[in-house]
Amino acid sequence: MMPIDDELIDRFIDGEASDDEAAEIVRWLEETENLQRFARRAELHSDLRSSLLRKNIQAEAIGACEEVKAEPARTLPDPSVGRLGRPVQFAVGFAVAALVTAACLIIAFWIPTDEQEPVALNGNLATVVSQIDAVLTSGRSNWNKPDLVAGEYQLKQGLLHLRFDGGVMVYVEAPAQFHVSSGKRLVLHRGRLSANVPPAGVGFAVDTPEAEVIDFGTEFSVDVESGTSEVHVFNGLVRVQPRPAQDGVATEAVDLRTSQAVKIEASTQTSSKIELATERFIRSFDEPKRMYLRSLKQLSPVAYYRMGIRDYGLVSHPSQYSGEVLIDRDSVAGGSRPPHAPGVFAGGSLRVGTGSTGRGGRVTTLPPLESGQFTLAVFVYLETETPNGIVTTNIRNEKGSFALSLDERGALRAIVRDRDRELQSVISNASLPLSTWRHIVVTADGDHLRFYEDGQLVSSVSCKPIARAANETLWFGTDAGGRGQWNGRIDELALFDKALSESEIAELYQAAVDEIARAK
């Protein structure tokens, strides 16, 4: 057994310990005296100063550890690991009994109590790291300050990224109402949030009307709507304590581990297992560099739209072909969700319709397509049946050269205009399924128009070289007349002034499959 010194404990708290070192600390924490030492070091590491009251609370927590060992929380069974399962980090390796016991002490240091609520010296409890088209109010006024103090807030529009004590990152999606209680606690009355909690932030808590959610160094999301609270754990371990029932009887707590989720109903205050919602929550605003990105760029697209979560429009690579996200300002007042949603990989996508303010996207400077050949590659995600819903098009009356949309039956259809000004189309062989990402590629090589789905050729028709296109407006999720609105998400759209080969398309799709396995 390796020696556990203060330096190793500090590196563990900072998230810098190796997997072997972290596992050794987990075993070491099974001893009560080691828990006490760890808690004292964590308090010093966080630059907290003990008061007599806090020492009393610590002593009570230490005494309660044995009670917790005797009556451990209920734990859900391990979920089956599918192809979208995320890699399990070291937090999952924690023995549940050890974590529950450790929680007694850690909570005594970090989670506010009725007697003593931590308050920052300057009154600031959370920092606004970034915001995307956000309208945040406190009382009757907009809150535009860089920090949040204790109090009630409403996020009426957009997205908000907050940093709490210990480096805890919280992402809030409109519409949401929440109360900042301290640097370690947030009350979510309604709406959605996601939290990423490093070791230094262990003990961060989210209260909802139906439950208290206590984190032990993890990534989790909470959804509060219509008398129901859901908790989804993407990595690590979270304790969910339902509120007492109406008769005052306490309800058993549940420990959630990686890839587990529960729902708590206000009417019964009991928890039930549900499926992890991998596609519902925005868990980051970043668009990290990925294998799929590298694979696609090697094929030299003339324009590439990652559909990242940004507050300055629809970003293209190269930037001269960037555009704007279209928003229905009337629906903003009604509290609809923002025009962004989780993407096929880690990051965002363009959300159109489906209860959001998103009405599509527009690019007024389209890259020239002059070779007579063409490729469109895109990920699509349909949320409600939408006959004639448009993914993308630059066709308007007699101008433009391509479109991808649903037909009346719900199957995807690609249309191109050839150099004789005739429209040619190719249709998928089945309706597009709901709530499922599909990788779609359309190619025109001067002889054939081909349609690929998830790397496989599904249909092909003869087709002459396509018409030259320059200066036409490009639309995403709608057309020039505001018709044919898509109801779902659009992500990772790329245009090529050439026809990709079947092998290139297969390799691109395989890169996407590998990326999905890493990201989810």
Residue 252 has pLDDT above 60, yes or no: yes
**More confident: 51 or 509:** 509
Residue 167's pLDDT is 94
> What mean pLDDT do residues 85-112 have?
41
Quick one: tokens of 461? 């028709």
Question: Residues, the chain, total?
Answer: 520
| Cα–Cα distance for residue pair 450/468, rounded to 1 Å | 19
Please check the confidence at residue 66 and state whether its pLDDT lies above 50.
no
Q: What is the pLDDT of residue 470?
A: 74
- Could you say which DSSP state residue 70 is in? H
Query: What is the C-alpha separation between 187 and 179, in angstroms, rounded?
Result: 5
* pLDDT above 70: residue 46: no
Give the confidence band of 333 by pLDDT, cuts at 50, 70, 90: low
Closest to 444 measured CA to CA, from 416, 472, 474, 423? 416
Please report the pLDDT score of residue 56 as a whole number.
43
**Low-confidence winner among 16-30, 67-81, 151-165, 352-366 (lowest mean pLDDT):** 67-81
- What is the pLDDT, as a whole number, of residue 35? 62
- In 3D space, the residue among 369, 375, 349, 317 whose CA is nearest the CA of residue 505 turns out to be 375
Question: From CA 381, how far away is CA 281, in angstroms rounded?
Answer: 15
CB-CB neighbours of 153 under 10 Å: 22
* Mean pLDDT across 479-508: 95
515 vs 43, higher pLDDT: 515
Number of Cβ within 10 Å of residue 268's Cβ equals 13
The two tokens of residue 245 are 């029932």
Do the beta carbons of residue 278 and residue 84 sit within 8 Å?
A: yes
In this prediction, residue 457 carries a pLDDT of: 97
The answer, yes or no, to whether residue 358 has pLDDT greater than 70, is: yes
Query: For 470-478, what is the mean pLDDT?
Result: 90
Hunting for tokens 């599904």 — which residue is that?
458
Q: Residue 145's CB: how many other CB atoms inside 10 A?
A: 11
User: What does the pLDDT read at residue 68?
Assistant: 40
pLDDT tens readout for residues 422-458: 999 999 989 999 999 999 999 999 999 999 999 999 9
3-state class (DSSP) for residue 319: helix
Q: Is the pLDDT of residue 109 over 60?
A: no
pLDDT at 77 over 50: no
Higher pLDDT, 294 or 270: 294
The alpha helices in 309-384, defined as continuous H runs, are 329-333
| pLDDT value of residue 486 | 96
- The 10s digit of each residue's pLDDT in 175-188 is 999 999 999 999 99
Q: Is the pLDDT of residue 275 over 80?
A: yes
The full set of domains in the chain, from first to last, is 126-274 (2.60.120.1440), 291-519 (2.60.120.200)
Place 469 in a pLDDT band, splitting at 50, 70 and 90.
confident
Tokens of 20: 């072997």
Residue 395 has pLDDT above 50, yes or no: yes
Specify the pLDDT at position 31: 65
More confident residue, 370 or 36: 370
Residues of the chain with pLDDT > 70: what percent? 78
pLDDT at position 111 over 90:
no
Residues above pLDDT 90, as percent of the chain: 56
- Taking residues 321-332, what's their average pLDDT? 83
- 461 pLDDT tier (thresholds 50, 70, 90): very high
pTM (2 d.p.): 0.69
Identify the pLDDT of residue 47.
Answer: 42
Q: Which of 330, 349, 199 is nearest to 280 (CA)?
A: 349
As a whole number of Å, the end-to-end CA separation of the chain is 34
CB 143 within 8 A of CB 131: no
Residue with more model confidence, 177 or 54: 177
Cα distance between residue 430 and residue 221, in whole Å: 34
147-149 vs 151-163, strand pairing mode: unpaired
- For tokens 């990652």, name the residue: 306
Q: Over the chain, what is the mean pLDDT?
A: 82
Neighbours of 516 (CB within 10 A): 19
- Model confidence over 214-248: pLDDT tens digits? 998 789 999 999 899 999 999 999 999 998 877 66
pLDDT band at 250, cuts 50/70/90? confident
Lowest mean pLDDT among 185-194, 241-250, 345-354: 241-250
Helix spans in 223-349 (H): 291-297, 329-333
| Strand, helix or coil for residue 332 | helix
CA distances from 265 to 76, 212, 243, 260, 262 (A): 18, 13, 10, 17, 10
Confidence at 264, pLDDT banded by 50, 70, 90:
very high
Q: Which helix (H) or strand (E) holds 448?
A: strand 448-453
Q: Cα–Cα distance between 136 and 105 in angstroms, integer?
A: 35
Q: What is the pLDDT of residue 248?
A: 67
Please compute the mean of the pLDDT values over residues 199-223 and round it to a whole number. 92
Of residues 469 and 105, the one with the higher pLDDT is 469
DSSP state of 12: H
Q: Using pLDDT thresholds of 50, 70 and 90, give the confidence band for residue 67.
A: very low
